[in-house]
Amino acid sequence: MDLFQGIKILHIIGGFTALFTFWLPVVTKKGGRLHRLFGWVYVGGMTMVALSAFYMGIYRLLDPSSSVEMFSFSLFLLFISILSSSTVYYGIRVLRFKGRKGIHKNVLDIGFPILLLTSAICISVYGFIQEFVLLSWFPLLGVFLGATQLTYWLQKPKKNMHWWFEHFSGMLGCSIATITAFTVFGAPRLLNIEAVSIVLWFLPTIIVTPVIIGLAIYYTKKFNGKKKPDIPT
């Protein structure tokens, strides 16, 4: 077994780990032992996914025998790497600096959203040029998330429990990358079909985004008027 196949196996293991654990922190007691445990397992799985996707994407891009289609899917792998790593990193870092009162300018915390934003724009433009629907529209999620993260860091916190909202939106945003990658790459192979409907490619975004918005509305009402909600961290 060569290095590429070994990395591919690690990518699959990480992907399935993240796929089966991303919802567990949502349903367990926030800040509790299980929440932390499953959360770190999810982070570990996504870290493995991001690193392996980056390697495989670069490998295929540099392969002179790659077709235009393979080149496009390699760009998608790279974008999944950037999207998943930046969102899970963001979800962790907002907890680290939950007590901040002013603008935050840490180089990595600002650099990741900038990388996500610029890569999303470039890949989306490439997708439109090549008329590749997935690369045309899916990176727009990265534009939104990158801009949102930058706005959060470069502004003074304006609402109570700001870090709480950013934490779950970052982690759930990361889950979109997990499920989408599985839909595009994993499901067709498991079901032994050549491809799935383009609608299914965007279904994770369509489903998870309203969940994020709904949770934000729910917790805004729950925390309204409470200066120090009793939530372990």
pLDDT of residue 192: 58
* CB within 8 Å of 148: residues ≥ 6 apart: 169
pTM for this model (two decimals):
0.83
pLDDT of residue 4: 87
Which is higher by pLDDT, 159 or 190? Answer: 159
Q: Taking a C-beta distance cutoff of 8 angstroms, is the pair 21, 51 a contact?
A: no
Rg (CA), the chain: 18
Q: Which of 73-77, 158-162, 216-220 has the lowest mean pLDDT?
A: 216-220
Q: Taking a C-beta distance cutoff of 8 angstroms, is the pair 92, 68 a contact?
A: no
Q: What is the DSSP letter of 133?
A: H
Question: How far apart (Å, rounded) are the C-alpha atoms in residues 55 and 216?
Answer: 35
Question: Per the structure block, which two tokens stand in for 174?
Answer: 């990361």
Q: Where are the beta strands (DSSP E) in 61-217?
A: none
Whole-Å CA distances, 53 to 7, 73, 147, 226: 9, 11, 23, 42
pLDDT of residue 189: 60
DSSP letter for each residue of 37-82: HHHHHHHHHHHHHHHHHHHHHHHHHT-TT--HHHHHHHHHHHHHHH
Question: How far apart (Å, rounded) are the C-alpha atoms in residues 61 and 84?
Answer: 20
When pLDDT is averaged across residues 1-16 and rounded to a whole number, the result is: 87
pLDDT in tens, 141-157: 899 899 999 999 999 98
pLDDT of residue 188: 60
Mean pLDDT of the chain: 84
When pLDDT is averaged across residues 178-197 and rounded to a whole number, the result is: 64
When pLDDT is averaged across residues 14-35 and rounded to a whole number, the result is: 86
Which is higher by pLDDT, 64 or 38? Answer: 38
Question: How far apart (Å, rounded) are the C-alpha atoms in residues 9 and 18?
Answer: 14
pLDDT of residue 232: 47
Q: Name the residue among 21, 89, 9 with its Cα closest to residue 49.
A: 9
Which is higher by pLDDT, 163 or 190? Answer: 163
Which is higher by pLDDT, 19 or 227? Answer: 19
When pLDDT is averaged across residues 108-124 and rounded to a whole number, the result is: 95
The confidence band for 131, taking pLDDT boundaries of 50, 70 and 90, is confident
The confidence band for 114, taking pLDDT boundaries of 50, 70 and 90, is very high
Question: How far apart (Å, rounded) are the C-alpha atoms in residues 53 and 106?
Answer: 26
